[in-house]
Amino acid sequence: MKRVLIVFFIIVLAVITATATVNDEMSIALLVNGNLGDKSFFDSAAGGMKMMEERLGAEIKIIEMNYNPGEWEPTLDDISSSGIYDLIIVGTWPMVDILTRIAPYYPDVKYIIFDARVNFTAGDPDNIYAINYKQNEGSFMAGALAGLVTKKADLRYTNPGVDKIGVLGGTNTPITNDFIIGYIEGARYVNSEATVFVSYAGAWDDPVKGKELSRVMYSNGADVVFNVAAKTGNGIFSAAKEMDRYSIGVDSDAQLLYSKSNPAIVEHILSSMLKDVGLSLYLSVEKYQRGELDFGQNESLGLKENVVGLAMNRYFTAFLKENPVIKKELEAIREKIIAGKIEITTAFGKSNEEIDQIIDNARP
């Protein structure tokens, strides 16, 4: 009889464990206020969702809301009211006001917003966790790379004696300008003679326009153009190939993305400034699963957390091996930033006039 009871309790325990596992399975939705296929920002977020599915056993859903702001609020409301999702993830600053209006109506739903800051002191709901990034740190590294490259006369795709670089932004916003200011300061930290062309495309999904604008910068002497324009900036890479110049990708590793589909382009990409949205989302959801994610706060991630920085793939590693002076300088700069020995200006809290002055002072 004792043996039967032991077997019975083992079976019951197994059923309880299995039931708990099912009940504990997370259901997570990512609402993209744009479209996938940008090979950078939103694709990185989608990659993080796949990691959650594969490593954490989460049920995931990715919903593309397109670039029409009129679709964003009703979609978020519908998904929140569905009762399906434990956690809903949205991104970028235009979603802040929408999220802080919707979230109070669904206190049992938890939200993560990335690449945005929430003013929680104003009484915003405590079921939101906000991730923002020190993109100015990563862009400082990208600028330092560009500044060192344009100064080095013996590189294949540079203009000897012409220390000019460029950057293409999507739209003129604080986050975009945080990238641009970091890039300018990084370039001029290593090369006081460097000047920087700055252009805004006014769109995030127009690679044809991105190509046209970057060709203008290359035609005017830029050795390197940095992409801060998502899918629009993908046009930079083909322009760099056609003009025999260099480029730097953003958010995702552009060299790995193009390595199979268009290897000729890869040769013209130095590296990419990773803002690893996917990794930051995965790590946050991992903490949420453990019950350790503190909602009602902002968290800022940078070089120290390995969420931003230059993509150290096989191509860039080989480039640094061929150029040990550049490698040594970049490593020293990274260490100084993490140690707080280099102070990098941020666009947040600065007026439009102050930002314009920084940009204008760097132009050729």
Please report the pLDDT score of residue 226 as a whole number. 98
Q: Would you say residue 4 has pLDDT above 70?
A: no
Q: What is the pTM (predicted TM-score) of this model?
A: 0.81
Of the listed ranges 6-20, 116-130, 234-248, 318-332, the least confidently predicted one is 6-20
Q: How confident is the model at residue 178 (pLDDT cuts 50, 70, 90)?
A: very high
pLDDT at 5 over 90: no
At residue 122 the predicted structure's pLDDT band, cuts being 50, 70 and 90, is low
Average pLDDT over residues 5-23: 39
CATH 3.40.190.170 fits 24-133+279-301, yes or no: no
Examine the pLDDT at 149 and tell me if it is beyond 50: yes
What is the overall mean pLDDT for the chain?
91
**Residue 282 confidence (pLDDT) above 80:** yes
Query: How far is it, in rounded angstroms, from Cα 337 to Cα 155?
Result: 27
Written out in words, the top-level CATH class of the domain with range 135-275+323-362 is: alpha beta
Secondary structure class of 148 (helix, strand, coil): helix
Mind spelling out the 3-state secondary structure of 224-272?
EEEEECCCCCHHHHHHHHHHCCEEEEECCCHHHHHCCCCHHHHCCEEEE
C-beta of residue 248 within 8 angstroms of C-beta of residue 221: no
Distance CA 58, CA 21 (A): 11
**What gap in Å lies between CA 234 and CA 168, rounded to an integer?**
10
Sheet hosting strand 297-301, strand order edge to edge: 59-64, 27-32, 87-91, 110-114, 128-133, 297-301
Write the pLDDT tens digit of every residue in 97-120.
999 999 999 999 999 999 998 988
* Beta-strand pair 308-310/269-275: antiparallel
Residues of the chain with CATH 3.40.50.2300: 24-133+279-301, 135-275+323-362
Alpha carbons 324 and 58: distance in angstroms, whole number = 44
Confidence of residue 161 (pLDDT cuts 50, 70, 90): confident
Say what angle helices 174-190 and 352-362 make with each other, to 10 degrees: 30
Residue 6 has pLDDT above 60, yes or no: no
pLDDT at 263: 94
As a 3-state breakdown, the chain gives helix, strand, coil percent values, each rounded to 5, of 50, 20, 30
Query: Mean pLDDT throughout 18-41?
Result: 74
Q: What percent of the chain has pLDDT over 90?
A: 80
Both tokens of residue 99?
Answer: 């999220």
For residue 20, pLDDT over 90 is answered with no
pLDDT value of residue 18 = 37
pLDDT above 70 covers a percentage of the chain that reads 93
HSE-CB of 73 using CA atoms within 13 angstroms: 9
Determine the average pLDDT of the residues in 337-357.
96
